[in-house]
């Protein structure tokens, strides 16, 4: 277990960080060493700005009142309002929110957005509550957070067990607490809203499209085309599906897929839309797709291919399976799919990794577009959104790629260096009050 220790008022504050967040902190400190980050700024970034815990009552359908605990951690806002998801889960707590808020700070900074990092949620199991109860819980949580969130202060988004409906409730409640003339000017207090309530067209595909674009940019830098390139995808959810959809349109061939139910392979290629339609009709499972063969789950990552897209979960590429990976490029659609030991093996083999904070940043960039759209009272068409995503992600990719070439480092280290440097610059320019 990694422990971040920062000296604050002569007291030591310990922030436990577990699991894959060990990787994030290790990367932070490693990048901070690379750029020789000023010790004072390292101190600031090692700790969160604000941690809000609210206990609030909600009336249940049976007339009883229950008390819930909600969290919001605001890690850093040197670059702009805090930004990050809200999750509803029994294991949400302040430590989890703290670690994930830090992660958001690096991500928004690298993406060149005017945002900081935040995270939060409510400790509950949503399956135990009715839709009406969840609505009341969400609205009361929003009321309890009060001015700790706001369109220019802290902007939540959907996360585990929260969705566009949850965001619509938050927006409505928050707007209702404002003076009448200001209500509609506060719609951008959350992103990830439904299409008809200020949501962004194309938000569903933003992350997957971003993964595809990063792969395309990598190919361009290497004077290659995606035509005929073989790729494998772990996770056929929103990210995996949309990334595959756009890669196929560019002429690449999907040869293996793995989801929670099993793995399939076809060297002739798997038609992405056919597989998507099959999984929809098969309770979300790709297993048994008639135009492919079943594949041993352990052999998925060893499939012959050019591009590997882990788009499901963390800690998938380890020192055990990394030596057997045939792909030349790993595009991290999921958060933290490659652990530190696995990454070492891949880099020694000369395999390029497009790191998660760059590769799957299409989602947070999409959120930024939604926020801008609401803030400026505009409505963007899908083609406009996609073109803007292309431009924004190309800028990020080019910066990371060029920095990695210039400094002779891998893309992940380069990404962290750039993310931290941007925040450092803001602190140097502004100084520390008073």
Phi first, then psi, for residue 131 (nearest 5°) are: -55, -40
Closest by CA to 65, choosing from 73, 55, 75, is 55
The residue ranges of DSSP E strands in 159-288, in sequence order, are 230-234, 253-259, 262-265
Based on CB atoms, which residue is closest to another protein, 307 or 311?
A: 311
CB of 18 to another protein, least distance (A): 5
126 binds another protein (CB under 8 A): yes
As to burial, measured by CB atoms within 10 angstroms (0-12 exposed, 13-18 middle, 19+ buried), residue 433 is exposed
Based on CB atoms, which residue is closest to another protein, 70 or 202?
A: 70
Phi first, then psi, for residue 224 (nearest 5°) are: -120, 165
| Residues contacting 172, CB < 8 A, separation 6+ | 139
Based on CB atoms, which residue is closest to another protein, 175 or 239?
A: 239
CB of 6 to another protein, least distance (A): 18
Based on CB atoms, which residue is closest to another protein, 211 or 255?
A: 211
Query: How is residue 305 annotated by DSSP?
Result: -
Based on CB atoms, which residue is closest to another protein, 100 or 419?
A: 100
What is the footprint of another protein within residues 302-331 (CB under 8 A)?
311-316
Query: How is residue 26 annotated by DSSP?
Result: H
What is the footprint of another protein within residues 138-177 (CB under 8 A)?
160-161
In DSSP terms, which residues pair with 265 in a beta bridge? Answer: 256, 293
Total of chain residues touching another protein, rule CB under 8 A: 54
16 binds another protein (CB under 8 A): yes
CB of 124 to another protein, least distance (A): 7
Query: How is residue 248 annotated by DSSP?
Result: H
How many CA atoms does the CB half-sphere of 69 hold within 13 Å?
9
Q: Which of 80, 150, 194, 262 binds another protein (CB under 8 A)?
A: 262
Q: How many CB atoms lie within 10 A of CB 57?
A: 10
- Interhelix angle 382-407/411-430, rounded to 10 degrees, is 100
Contact 268, 256 (CB under 8 A): no
What H or E segment, with its residue span, contains residue 87? strand 82-88
288 binds another protein (CB under 8 A): no
- Interhelix angle 340-348/21-34, rounded to 10 degrees, is 60
Using DSSP's 3-state secondary structure scheme, residue 282 falls into coil
Q: Is the dihedral of CA 229, 232, 233, 236 positive or negative?
A: positive
Contact 338, 310 (CB under 8 A): yes
Part in contact with another protein (CB under 8 A); list of ranges 63-71, 140-148, 188-196, 380-388:
63-71
Which string of x and - marks every residue 328-367 that binds another protein (by CB under 8 A)? Answer: -----xxxx-------------------------------
Based on CB atoms, which residue is closest to another protein, 311 or 346?
A: 311
Which string of x and - marks every residue 21-50 that binds another protein (by CB under 8 A)? Answer: x-----------------------------
1 binds another protein (CB under 8 A): yes
Based on CB atoms, which residue is closest to another protein, 49 or 315?
A: 315
95 binds another protein (CB under 8 A): yes
Q: Which of 237, 355, 362, 366 binds another protein (CB under 8 A)?
A: 237
How many CA atoms does the CB half-sphere of 114 hold within 13 Å?
7
Based on CB atoms, which residue is closest to another protein, 312 or 346?
A: 312
234 binds another protein (CB under 8 A): yes
Query: How is residue 199 annotated by DSSP?
Result: P
CB of 80 to another protein, least distance (A): 23
Q: Which of 11, 12, 36, 65 binds another protein (CB under 8 A)?
A: 65
Q: Which of 227, 260, 379, 428 binds another protein (CB under 8 A)?
A: 260
- So which residues are the catalytic ones? 119
Part in contact with another protein (CB under 8 A); list of ranges 109-117, 184-192, 245-253, 258-266:
258-266
Q: Torsion-angle region of residue 161: left (phi > 0), alpha (psi -120 to 50) or beta?
A: left
How many CA atoms does the CB half-sphere of 201 hold within 13 Å?
11
Based on CB atoms, which residue is closest to another protein, 92 or 331?
A: 92
Q: Which of 50, 165, 238, 267 binds another protein (CB under 8 A)?
A: 238
Contact 43, 7 (CB under 8 A): yes
CB of 100 to another protein, least distance (A): 7
Part in contact with another protein (CB under 8 A); list of ranges 58-66, 165-173, 222-230, 423-431:
58-66
Residues that bind another protein in the complex, under the rule CB under 8 A: 1, 16, 18-21, 57, 62-68, 89-93, 95-96, 100, 123-128, 160-161, 234-235, 237-240, 258-263, 284, 297, 311-316, 333-336
């Amino acid at each position: 277990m990694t422990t971040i220790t920062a000296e604050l008022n002569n007291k030591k504050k310990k922030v436990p960080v577990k699991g894959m967040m060990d990787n994030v902190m290790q990367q932070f400190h490693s990048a901070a060493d690379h750029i020789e980050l000023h010790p004072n700024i390292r101190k600031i970034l090692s700790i969160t700005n604000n941690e809000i815990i609210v206990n609030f009552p909600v009336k249940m359908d049976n007339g009883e009142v229950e008390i819930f605990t909600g969290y919001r951690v605001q890690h850093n806002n040197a670059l702009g309002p805090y930004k990050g998801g809200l999750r509803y889960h029994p294991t949400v707590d302040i430590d989890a929110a703290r670690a994930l808020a830090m992660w958001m700070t690096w991500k928004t900074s690298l993406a060149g957005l005017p945002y900081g990092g935040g995270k939060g949620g409510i400790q509950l199991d949503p399956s135990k509550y009715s839709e009406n109860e969840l609505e009341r819980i969400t609205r009361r949580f929003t009321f309890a957070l009060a001015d700790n969130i706001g369109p220019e202060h802290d902007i939540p988004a959907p996360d585990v067990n929260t969705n566009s409906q949850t965001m619509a409730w938050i927006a409505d409640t928050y707007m209702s607490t404002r003076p009448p003339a200001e209500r509609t000017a506060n719609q951008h207090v959350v992103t990830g809203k439904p299409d008809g309530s200020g949501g962004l067209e194309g938000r569903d595909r933003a992350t997957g499209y971003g993964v595809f674009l990063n792969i395309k940019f990598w190919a361009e830098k290497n004077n290659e085309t995606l035509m005929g390139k073989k790729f494998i995808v772990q996770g056929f959810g929103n990210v995996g599906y949309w990334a595959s959809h756009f890669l196929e349109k560019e002429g690449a061939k999907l040869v293996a897929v793995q989801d929670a139910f099993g793995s399939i392979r076809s060297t002739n290629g798997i038609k992405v839309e056919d597989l998507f339609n099959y999984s929809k009709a098969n309770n979300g499972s790709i297993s048994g797709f008639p135009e492919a063969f079943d594949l041993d789950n352990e052999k998925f990552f060893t499939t012959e291919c050019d591009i590997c897209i882990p788009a499901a979960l963390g800690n998938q590429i380890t020192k055990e399976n990394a030596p057997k990976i045939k792909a030349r490029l790993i595009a991290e659609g999921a958060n933290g799919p490659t652990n530190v030991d696995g990454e070492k093996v891949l880099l020694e083999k000369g395999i390029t990794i497009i790191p998660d904070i760059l590769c799957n940043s299409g989602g947070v960039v999409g959120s930024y577009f939604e926020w801008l759209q609401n803030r400026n009272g505009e409505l963007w068409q899908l083609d406009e959104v996609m073109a803007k995503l292309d431009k924004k992600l190309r800028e990020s990719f080019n910066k990371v790629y060029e920095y990695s070439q210039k400094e002779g480092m891998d893309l992940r280290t380069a990404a962290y260096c750039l993310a931290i440097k941007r925040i450092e610059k803001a602190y140097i320019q502004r100084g520390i009050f008073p």
